[in-house]
Amino acid sequence: MSEKKLSDDAVGWMYNRYIKDDPERIAHLELVRRQGDLAQQIYDIRTTLHMTREQLAEFSDLTPETIEDLEESDYDGDWDEAIKKVNIGFRNWFTNVILPVARMKPEDYSVGVGAG
């Protein structure tokens, strides 16, 4: 039997044993899955934009530790409020960092190159 099959069997057994037919546990599992998805999205967007956690924290009015906790699905605060701030941070980064560079003229790219 393959490793994947054993893993699937174990997950199925645990679900049936500990979660199945318990609405409260099902709701908690769904919450944890959503938070995990959000955590991965925050990390993916931040790294795609070449942002550090410190930069995202600065632009979103959060601490770098909060960004780390969010990305690791280990945040104990209000997820909805934190996600709103992260969204604002991404928009601020785009407005203040990405757009100014995009608006530069080609001759501005070589400022300081070959001078002297």
Domain ranges, residue 55: 7-103
Q: Number of folded domains in the chain?
A: 1
2: number of Cβ within 10 Å:
7
Query: 72-84: per-residue pLDDT in tens?
Result: 999 999 999 999 9
Query: Among candidates 89, 87, 105, 107, which has minimal Cα distance to 97?
Result: 89
Mean pLDDT of the chain: 87
Task: State the pTM of this model.
Answer: 0.73
Kindly indicate the confidence band of residue 4, based on its pLDDT and cuts at 50, 70 and 90: low
CATH number, domain at 33? 1.10.260.40
Q: Distance between CA atoms of 82 and 65, rounded to whole angstroms?
A: 12
